[in-house]
Amino acid sequence: MNNAKGHISGVEIRVLQSPVECQHVQFLQQRVWESSDIDLVPAHMLITITKNGGVLLGAFALDGPRETGGMVGFVLSWPGYGTDHRGQLSPKHCSHMIAVIPEYRQRGIGLALKFAQREAVLAQGITEWITWTFDPMQRINAIFNLNRLGTISNTYILDAYGNLDDAINFGLPTDRLQVDWYLRSPRVLAATSAERTEHAWPAEELHIVPAPDTKTVSHSNLSRLGVEQTNSLAVPIPHTVNPLEDARMLQWHHFLRKAMQTAFGRGYHLTNCVCLPEIGWHYILAPC
């Protein structure tokens, strides 16, 4: 059974350092992203990261695959620097990967890995700030990052990784949202608490941005993101992402790119991903 600290019966989270464990991490990368060998983080680099302040944690299930020693997931981060909310250069951890193989998802393992990463970074005593990126088209990732972990975002990165040829990103722009996870902030403590509650979003609290036209890419509706707006914004996202619908997915990419860049440029922060009654899934952006 899960609890507030992310412990799961039958699953152990532990530090990875040995060459064999790092090779198992490579195997999991291939399973999750269906990546070519050239796109894998190599074992020798993983070993070096762990010996120099990085955090590499594995999740092991009692019934996990024999070829990975029971490892079913991992999370990877390392120390870095970033510009904080005051505009000053500050230490942080850069979280680069989290993965759980498909047959072990929906069990809370990803959440347990992130909670363990949080504790490991805090134990170093260097920083209380972790950042990472995610694809704004991936609703499941957005819900996990924003709602369940309590991250926020005001950074949109254009084509962050260039062209990728894995099964998820092939043929699409690699635009990413960078999220900030302030490990001891009231928002994060509330989100990760066992007693957390979901915020309701009445329509009168929101300025709802119309969805893009399904046949043409028009940004005229984004002109309504005025600087005088005081309500939170609700920006629509696609209910599903179908890579076979290349033209439609590109339209959504361009729409979200314009919407996020415009909102962030006018002082909004991305805080939630919610399903609004009758109109579907939306990003919520709050004025600061």
User: In this structure, is the dihedral angle defined by the CA atoms of residues 258, 271, 107 and 238, taken in order, positive or negative?
Assistant: negative
216 C-beta neighbours (distance < 10 Å), count:
7
Do 139 and 243 fall into the same domain?
no
Do 145 and 278 fall into the same domain?
no
Q: Is the pTM of this model over 0.85?
A: yes
- What does the alpha-carbon distance between residue 56 and residue 113 come to, in Å, rounded to a whole number? 10
Do 86 and 178 fall into the same domain?
yes
Do 28 and 105 fall into the same domain?
yes
3 in any annotated domain: no
Do 146 and 19 fall into the same domain?
yes
Do 251 and 154 fall into the same domain?
no
Per-residue pLDDT of the chain (288 residues; tens, 9 = 90+): 333 455 788 999 999 999 999 999 999 999 998 877 778 999 999 999 999 999 999 999 999 999 999 999 999 999 999 998 888 999 999 999 999 999 999 999 999 999 999 999 999 999 999 999 999 999 999 999 999 999 999 999 998 888 665 545 555 788 999 999 999 999 999 999 877 777 788 878 899 999 987 554 444 455 555 445 568 999 999 987 776 566 788 889 899 999 999 999 999 999 999 999 989 999 999 998
267 in any annotated domain: yes
196 in any annotated domain: no
Do 132 and 183 fall into the same domain?
yes
Of 156, 191, 226, the one marking the end of a domain is 191
1 in any annotated domain: no
Q: Which residues lie below 8 Å from residue 12, measured CB to CB, with a gap of 6+?
A: 59, 60
The count of structural domains within the chain is 2
197 in any annotated domain: no
Q: What is the pLDDT of residues 36-93, one digit of tens each?
A: 777 899 999 999 999 999 999 999 999 999 999 999 999 999 999 999 888 899 999 9
CATH code, domain carrying 180: 3.40.630.30
198 in any annotated domain: no
Do 133 and 47 fall into the same domain?
yes
Domain span including residue 123: 11-191
Do 168 and 207 fall into the same domain?
no
Do 108 and 180 fall into the same domain?
yes
5 in any annotated domain: no
Do 39 and 180 fall into the same domain?
yes
4 in any annotated domain: no
Of 139, 162, 191, the one marking the end of a domain is 191
Q: What is the pLDDT of residues 123-134, one digit of tens each?
A: 999 999 999 999
Of 163, 191, 219, the one marking the end of a domain is 191
Q: Would you say how long the chain is, in residues? A: 288
Predicted pLDDT of residue 223: 54
Do 253 and 173 fall into the same domain?
no
